[in-house]
Structure 1
Amino acid sequence: MNNLRFPLLGLAMLMVAGCGSDPLRRVDALAQTPAPLETPISTARQVLADAPVCCDAIKAFPFQPIPANFSADVTLDASAPAYRFDSGKSFFRAFELPRESKSFEIRLYSQAGDTVLAPSVMLLDGQLRMTRLLDADDFVYVPAEGLKGDSLDARLRIDRTYLDNSGNERYLVLFAADADGQTVLQHPAKAYAKALGNEPPSIPDPVAQHSPVGVIKMVLIEDKAAGQQANSYVPAYSTGREMGNELPSIRAPAVLPETQAYYRQGIDAALASKDLERALRLADEATRVGDAGAKAYLLERIEIK
């Protein structure tokens, strides 16, 4: 029955939604399920336990340069290096982000099947100091829709307004945040009923156990607005001491209008879809990057509604 999940749901949602779905969020539902999603949890954990630690420090990570139009499935399994993070040992993939591009958004979709990898994302500046750390709580379960399967999703923005700033976020590391939990998925029969406007059947939802191996689709999308200029802008750091790195005390600059607009549009979209949890996370992140009025804006929008 599990093998029918994506094709059945894909047909149902295509009949209802037509071709209006975001193509960047689509995963070929008819393709073979990636091997990491079929690996038994016990086997995956043993493979991780047996994997050698690749590096003594983050600065020794094998960072792979990626272009501004990057879009690909990133596999975390025995083919990836392993490292002992503060949260525990994990397979990881490390990327050098585009430096000369416009500001851009990164969209991440951790694909779910019998298992799912609950991701963590580490962002670092040009001196390999950590600027942000996203964990499993920053990823939201999104049920299968159209040709996109079940996944744990997150979106973040990388600022490239001032290209000559060494404090820009230059590197991204993907690894596992939680290999012991689980995610309850929406049963395909319920999704099919909803797509047809019917009452969903009262049946148990499948559960995807969190695994140390998995597949994450990563998509970079450049801002449409043109133009950057040189300046001394330095992004605000969200924390003081993480991963053994002492971060300097830097006064947060005034938030850029483009950044403020990005987060407030995201808050509006989250509220429009009745996703208060995402709206709160966006308000928190906006506050960390210098938008002191983000939480007040969220409260105002809630009161208006």
Structure 2
Amino acid sequence: MPHHRLTGLALLGLLLTGCAGEPLRRIDVLTQTPAPLQTSQQDGQRALAAAKPCCSSLQQLPYVPIPANFSGDVVIDPSAPAFEFQSGKSFLRAFALPSNSRSFEIRLYSQAGKTVLAPSAMLLDSQFRLTRLLGSEDFVYEPAAGLKGDSLDARLRIDRLYHDNPGNEQYLILFTSERQLAGQTVLQHPAKAHAKAHGNEPPNIPDPVARHAPVGVLKMVLIEDGSASQQANSYVPPRSIGMEMGNRLPTTPVPAVLPETQAYYRQGIDAALAGQDLERALRLADEAARVGDDSAKAYLLERIQIK
């Protein structure tokens, strides 16, 4: 899929209009609270049931390119594309990650009110093969604080040691699943939050409940290395084929790593060891394991023993 360079103004226009007229609102949550979607949970369910899948494969999804240091709101509503995932049909937004950035962090905040979209996040490599899947265990409820409202939050890192490695994670898909739609999230009552903030005993009152909906607004922030927190690694499970959420690629198991991808990591490990940079060699072996090259660590150990 060819990628085109976009100016900041042109990209903003694309994000505001989306693909084929699909709106994406861009709001600075540090200065104001995004207006809630004008779609109820029941209306969203009906719209999803009636929606026709936009595409027959992940490769055909309408991927919107986003730049490094992007910060904006992603609106998933009935105008968004729908796709029949193995875990069920869902509205979605799909993005092409900045290709010229080596390592960066992605922060996701699904905003909660009377309803909330309980997200899944799927990462694909340059060949549109599944590399990682984040689901309900990775999006953690965080109560409102300051100007930030209640939300389901996740953080993940994209690590790339070589720009032209076909195993690099290049695409991000945000969606939900039938299992997540059946759930709900208990929010912290504002009165309890206020009491805790002032060191008082929280009142004995019920907490509000946000029903999970097929529509919602997610704040997405990209932070390039240098300011990204290494703690983001703790939010990312090892390479996943989606056992929990059932989001395997249709009808076939996850394919084996490409020979050229394996060769990239072997060459990189050899070069790092030749330069006596063991830390880099270990990072390469870890990154290789995340994209499916499970023998990279054994290769590294073998090379160390040979030397």
Name the TM-score, length of structure 2 as normaliser.
0.68
Residues 1:97 and 2:60 are matched in the alignment: no
- Partner residue, 1:158: 158
- Partner residue, 1:35: 37
Residue 81 of structure 1 contacts residue 91 of structure 1 at CA under 8 Å; is this kept in 2?
Answer: yes
Counterpart of 1:151 in structure 2: which amino acid? S
Counterpart of 1:197 in structure 2: which amino acid? G
Residues 1:248 and 2:248 are matched in the alignment: no
- Partner residue, 1:9: none
Counterpart of 1:248 in structure 2: which amino acid? A
Deviation at 1:257, TM superposition (A): 4.5
Deviation at 1:137, TM superposition (A): 1.7
- Partner residue, 1:120: 120
Deviation at 1:242, TM superposition (A): 2.6
Residues 1:106 and 2:106 are matched in the alignment: yes
CA distance, structure 2, for counterparts of residue 108 and residue 59 of structure 1: 23
- Partner residue, 1:88: 88
CA distance, structure 2, for counterparts of residue 138 and residue 118 of structure 1: 10
CA distance, structure 2, for counterparts of residue 286 and residue 150 of structure 1: 36
- Partner residue, 2:219: 217
- Partner residue, 1:70: 70
Taking a change above 3 Å as real, the CA distance of residues 249 and 160 of structure 1, as seen in their structure-2 partners, is closer
CA distance, structure 2, for counterparts of residue 260 and residue 192 of structure 1: 46
Question: How high is the sequence identity, in percent, across the aligned residues?
Answer: 59
CA distance, structure 2, for counterparts of residue 221 and residue 54 of structure 1: 31
Taking a change above 3 Å as real, the CA distance of residues 238 and 136 of structure 1, as seen in their structure-2 partners, is closer
Q: How does 1:271-290 map to 2 (within 5 A)?
A: none
- Partner residue, 2:13: none
Which region of structure 1 is more displaced relative to structure 2, 98-107 or 109-118? 98-107
Q: How does 1:143-292 map to 2 (within 5 A)?
A: 143-177=143-177, 178-224=180-226, 237-239=239-241, 242-244=248-250, 245=252, 246-249=254-257, 257=279
- Partner residue, 1:10: none
Residue 133 of structure 2 contacts residue 241 of structure 2 at CA under 8 Å; is this kept in 1?
Answer: no
Structure 1 runs (4+) deviating above 6 angstroms are 250-254, 258-261, 289-292
Deviation at 1:102, TM superposition (A): 2.8
Counterpart of 1:219 in structure 2: which amino acid? V
RMSD (Å) for aligned C-alpha atoms: 3.1
Question: What are the superposed Cα offsets for residues 187-225 of structure 1, whole Å, 9 maximum, x if unpaired?
Answer: 000001111111111110000000000001111000018
Counterpart of 1:242 in structure 2: which amino acid? R
SS at structure 1 position matched to 2:193: helix
Q: How does 1:35-54 map to 2 (within 5 A)?
A: 35=37, 39-54=39-54
CA distance, structure 2, for counterparts of residue 135 and residue 144 of structure 1: 21
Residue 29 of structure 1 contacts residue 149 of structure 1 at CA under 8 Å; is this kept in 2?
Answer: no
Question: What are the superposed Cα offsets for residues 49-98 of structure 1, whole Å, 9 maximum, x if unpaired?
Answer: 11221011111101111101111100111121101101101000000001
Counterpart of 2:111 in structure 1: which amino acid? Q
Residue 29 of structure 1 contacts residue 148 of structure 1 at CA under 8 Å; is this kept in 2?
Answer: no
Question: What are the superposed Cα offsets for residues 16-71 of structure 1, whole Å, 9 maximum, x if unpaired?
Answer: xxxxxxxxxx83575353215xx322111001111221011111101111101111
Taking a change above 3 Å as real, the CA distance of residues 89 and 258 of structure 1, as seen in their structure-2 partners, is farther
The count of corresponding residues between Structure 1 and Structure 2 is: 232
CA distance, structure 1, for counterparts of residue 280 and residue 206 of structure 2: 44
Residue 54 of structure 2 contacts residue 81 of structure 2 at CA under 8 Å; is this kept in 1?
Answer: yes
CA distance, structure 1, for counterparts of residue 131 and residue 290 of structure 2: 10
Residue 59 of structure 1 contacts residue 128 of structure 1 at CA under 8 Å; is this kept in 2?
Answer: yes
CA distance, structure 2, for counterparts of residue 33 and residue 287 of structure 1: 42
SS at structure 1 position matched to 2:154: strand
Name the TM-score, length of structure 1 as normaliser.
0.68
- Partner residue, 2:273: none
SS at structure 2 position matched to 1:242: coil
SS at structure 2 position matched to 1:100: coil
SS at structure 1 position matched to 2:119: strand
Taking a change above 3 Å as real, the CA distance of residues 106 and 193 of structure 1, as seen in their structure-2 partners, is same
CA distance, structure 2, for counterparts of residue 153 and residue 88 of structure 1: 22
